[in-house]
């Protein structure tokens, strides 16, 4: 009887593992992620608009300025580069969970920007790009006269 109980316990364990994996799939779907693709969008980014400028905030941990480039053409900002992961000098890798990765993300901007007034800074693994809108794209206040 003891062997049957162990087999039954093992069966319930496998069912529990399946349930957890299915929960994870539905959780990812609810978040808007596609659980059936291997690669998520990298790097993660947020794009904000304050009316006068766009602010793009991108997570780039472990990436230095020389490992990526920004280009702006036709109101599309493209960030491309490489995440390099190297073992410290004199050490051999025992376990690797972070792997080298080439990346490229393009962001279509909803209005024209002034490329001359665009700036970017990389601080603490976060790239912040400020893209000032072209004068014709900025909101205007229209005065109203009463007769």
Domain, as residue range, for 29: 1-38
How many independent structural domains does the chain possess? 2
Instruction: Identify whether residues 22 and 74 lie together within a single domain.
Output: no
Tokens representing 42 are 């990298």
pTM: 0.65
Residue by residue, pLDDT tens for the chain (147 residues) are 444 467 777 888 888 889 888 888 877 776 665 555 545 678 999 999 998 999 999 999 989 999 999 999 988 999 999 988 888 899 988 888 888 889 999 999 999 999 899 999 999 999 999 999 988 877 777 888 887
Those residues with Cβ within 8 angstroms of residue 67's Cβ, 6 or more apart along the chain or in another chain: 81, 82, 83, 84
52 within 8 A of 130, measured Cβ to Cβ? no
**Within this chain, do residues 101 and 131 fall inside the same structural domain, yes or no?**
yes
Do 72 and 5 share a structural domain?
A: no
């Amino acid at each position: 009887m003891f062997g049957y109980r162990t087999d039954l316990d093992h069966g319930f364990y496998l069912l529990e593992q399946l349930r957890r994996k299915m929960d994870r799939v539905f959780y990812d779907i609810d978040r808007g992620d596609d659980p059936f693709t291997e690669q998520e969008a990298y790097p993660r980014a947020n794009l904000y608009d304050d009316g006068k400028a766009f602010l793009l905030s991108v997570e780039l941990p472990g990436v230095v300025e020389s490992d990526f480039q920004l280009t702006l053409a036709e109101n599309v900002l493209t960030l491309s580069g490489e995440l390099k992961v190297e073992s410290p000098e004199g050490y051999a890798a025992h376990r690797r969970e972070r792997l080298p990765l080439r990346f490229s993300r393009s962001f279509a901007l909803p209005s024209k920007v002034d490329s001359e007034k665009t700036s970017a800074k990389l601080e603490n693994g976060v790239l912040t790009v400020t893209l000032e809108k072209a004068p014709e794209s900025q909101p205007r206040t229209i005065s109203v006269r009463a007769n």
